[in-house]
Amino acid sequence: MNRDMPNKPIRRAVFPGQFDPITLGHLDIIRRGVKLFDELIVGVGVNPDKKEMFSLDERVKMISDLLADVPETRVEKYTGLTMNFVRKAGATTILRGIRDATDLRYEFQLALANRAVGGVETVFMMTSDQFALTSSSLIRQVVQLGGDIKQLKSLLPGVVITALQQKIKRGEIQPVLHPDAPAN
């Protein structure tokens, strides 16, 4: 039940994503989005089209630790369709962050499909301006091309930077030093 009104149902939403890695932009959406719902479930999923830097369990642990001070959130992993996860979680809403018009166009199509197929509404939240150009894909590319991870401190939580540095040191992430060089 809703904590403010005992007879009102819980407003539960899911914020789904791969979060590989979780960024300060993601955390901003979560911390602002939780104010709109009684409970916000961060659904950590798998995208089979993307190579992961962090395992699903590593991502869940990092995000759980980062949100330990936000009691209205919980972090869960899932595989398969987001719609199935949303239903299983008992949520009625999907929360999505929007950075620009390209995001909006893509997310709008997903939102229409989710409403038509699953009866689930989507709430869009604009990203804060300092995170408008941040994406996990961009972060992965910088890391894989040997960029200075410490320079990402305005985009990533410190625990993520440390974890990336450790993975590189252990050889779990191999930077591509000459991505534009012709193949031999």
- Catalytic residues, by residue number, are 26, 50, 99, 136
Which residue, chain included where needed, has tokens 């239903």?
A: 87
Question: E strands within the chain?
Answer: 12-17, 39-44, 73-77, 93-98, 121-126
| Nearest Cα to Cα of residue 65 among 166, 171, 163, 170 | 163
The number of angstroms, rounded, from the C-alpha of 123 to the middle of its chain's C-alpha atoms is: 15
Backbone angles phi, psi at 10, to 5 degrees: -70, 135
Q: How far apart are CA 158 and CA 154, in angstroms?
A: 9
